[in-house]
């Protein structure tokens, strides 16, 4: 936890007193079983996670904002070459949650399956040759496809604004041609990095990748500072981690500062013992921070896809609350891992 948390906790304690909220009332609002837990959480001598501080602020109706210490764009690729690990769902949900927390967020869909685009309501027609112009394609090969053009002059298209207020560079199935053409291009797999760094005004750029180890994923890994690896919480997911880490490490030749930020345990089955054991083992033995398990909730996730909505943007109904709380917590864990700090809006120490 950052050094500013003591000040923030003191500000929250002042807010609690001003509003005459007892510790046990606050504990109830936070869902703590133990009424003294709220008092402990507001003890400035104790360390608190960003998640706890943010939840207390929310329970007290105190406005907060988050800041990343580095103050520049943070590029994160969500990567796992295993299919169905919840890469796309995580980009959609964490991206939206970051936006809700006040960050400027751009999502980049590099997967020709284009699930992220479709799930955010953006569907480019594969039959329309102009569709590629809205994807990362012009940033990699230019608009005219003229091989004499200087690749350093290429730029990305204007991102699309989705219904839920996210910025998105979408994909379309024809983007798969990248894997065929890129190996013949000079410094091909560095081109996404170069064009993304021409963008301004974003706190986060989150990149969704296809389930493969082909050129498109190299574009994304070379373009990123960090990698988040969603891992399906089962035997297959756990046994694939070593290979994924190896693939990430191999990109340090072209992108030396690439950092594995977090593993996300996804689609965790809380009932099956084997899944629980794997989840626990991953949590204890992983080489990097591991997020809380995202529980397998087929009805909720299917609804999100049907409604073209991120999980946190689902209607205000009780049956979505647990899934929303998990996305919130994973996002706060990610921010904590990145060294983000929380500030109380309008307070003098903030
Ligand atoms: N916690 C969850 N509970 C239930 N279903 C989930 C959960 N997370 C993701 N899903 C569903 O699992 C499927 C795979 O998820 P997703 O498409 O996000 O994975 P992916 O890693 O992007 O897959 P691919 O490798 O094909 O790109 C989707 O139908 C998604 O809605
Ligand atoms: Mg996907």
Q: How far apart are CA 309 and CA 206, in angstroms?
A: 17
Residue 66, beta-bridge partner list? 342
- For 96-143, write each residue's pLDDT tens digit: 999 999 999 999 999 999 999 999 999 999 999 899 999 999 999 998
CATH fit for domain 3-62, picks 2.160.20, 1.10.287, 3.40.1000, 1.10.260: 1.10.260
Probe residue for ligand 1, chosen from 208, 301, 308, 319 as the CB with the greatest number of ligand atoms within 8 Å: 301
Nearest Cα residue to atom 9 of ligand 1? 86
CATH fit for domain 68-339, picks 3.40.30.10, 3.40.50.300, 2.60.40.1260, 3.20.20.150: 3.40.50.300
Q: Which ligand 1 atom sits closest to the C-alpha of 297? A: 3
User: How far does residue 119's CA lie from ligand 1's centre (Å)?
Assistant: 11
Sheet bearing 160-161, strands edge to edge: 160-161, 167-169, 105-109, 204-208, 74-78, 226-232, 259-266
Q: Which ligand 1 atom sits closest to the C-alpha of 304? A: 31
pTM value? 0.94
Q: How far apart are CA 63 and CA 323, in angstroms?
A: 23
User: How far does residue 83's CA lie from ligand 1's centre (Å)?
Assistant: 9
DSSP characters for 96-148?
A: HHHHHTT--EEEEE--TT-HHHHHTT----TT-TTGGGGSSHHHHH-SS--TT
Q: Which ligand 1 atom sits closest to the C-alpha of 211? A: 25
Parallel/antiparallel/unpaired status of strands 167-169 and 341-344: unpaired
Q: Is the CB of 305 under 6 A from ligand 1?
A: yes
Q: Is the CB of 211 under 6 A from ligand 1?
A: yes
Q: How far apart are CA 332 and CA 121, in angstroms?
A: 26
Residue 76, beta-bridge partner list? 206, 226
Which three-class secondary structure state does DSSP give residue 198?
A: coil
Domain locations along the chain: 3-62, 68-339
Q: Which ligand 1 atom sits closest to the C-alpha of 209? A: 27
- For 173-218, write each residue's pLDDT tens digit: 999 999 999 998 888 999 999 999 999 999 999 999 999 999 999 9
- Report the half-sphere exposure of 346 (CA within 13 A, side-chain side): 4
Task: Give the pLDDT of residue 101.
Answer: 93
Q: Is 257's pLDDT higher than 60?
A: yes
User: How far does residue 252's CA lie from ligand 1's centre (Å)?
Assistant: 28
Q: Is 347's pLDDT higher than 70?
A: no
Probe residue for ligand 1, chosen from 79, 83, 88 as the CB with the greatest number of ligand atoms within 8 Å: 88
With cut-offs at 50, 70 and 90, classify the pLDDT of residue 262: very high
Q: How far apart are CA 28 and CA 283, in angstroms?
A: 28
Share of the chain above pLDDT 90, in %: 78
Q: Same topology for domains 3-62 and 68-339, yes or no?
A: no
């Amino acid at each position: 936890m950052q050094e500013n948390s003591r000040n923030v906790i003191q500000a929250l304690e002042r807010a609690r007193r001003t509003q005459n909220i007892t510790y046990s009332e606050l504990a109830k609002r936070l869902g703590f079983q133990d009424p003294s837990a709220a008092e402990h959480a507001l003890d400035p001598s104790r360390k608190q996670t960003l998640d706890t501080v943010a939840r207390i602020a929310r329970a007290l109706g105190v406005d907060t904002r988050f800041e990343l210490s580095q103050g520049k764009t943070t590029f994160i690729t969500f990567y796992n070459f295993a299919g169905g690990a919840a890469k796309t769902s995580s980009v959609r949900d964490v991206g939206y949650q970051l936006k809700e927390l006040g960050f400027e967020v751009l999502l980049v869909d590099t997967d020709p399956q284009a699930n992220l685009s479709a799930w955010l309501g953006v569907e480019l027609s594969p039959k329309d040759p102009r569709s590629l112009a809205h994807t990362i394609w012009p940033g990699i090969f230019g608009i005219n496809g003229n091989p004499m053009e200087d690749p350093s002059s290429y730029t990305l298209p204007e991102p699309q604004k989705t219904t839920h207020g996210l910025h998105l560079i979408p994909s379309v199935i024809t983007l798969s041609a990248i894997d065929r053409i890129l190996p013949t291009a000079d410094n091909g797999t560095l081109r996404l990095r170069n064009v993304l760094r021409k963008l301004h005004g974003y706190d986060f750029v989150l990149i969704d990748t296809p389930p493969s180890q082909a050129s498109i994923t190299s574009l994304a890994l070379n373009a990123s500072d960090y990698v988040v690896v969603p891992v399906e919480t089962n035997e297959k997911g756990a046994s694939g981690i070593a290979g994924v880490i190896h693939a990430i490490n191999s990109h340090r030749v072209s992108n030396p500062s690439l950092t594995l930020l977090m593993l996300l345990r996804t689609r965790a089955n809380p009932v099956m013992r084997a899944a629980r054991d794997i989840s626990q083992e991953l949590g204890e033995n992983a080489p990097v921070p591991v997020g809380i398990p995202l529980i397998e909730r087929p009805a909720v996730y299917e609804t999100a896809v049907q409604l073209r909505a991120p999980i946190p943007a689902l209607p205000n109904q009780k049956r979505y609350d647990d899934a929303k709380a998990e996305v919130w917590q994973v996002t706060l864990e990610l921010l904590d891992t990145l060294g983000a700090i929380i500030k109380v809006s309008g307070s003098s120490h903030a």
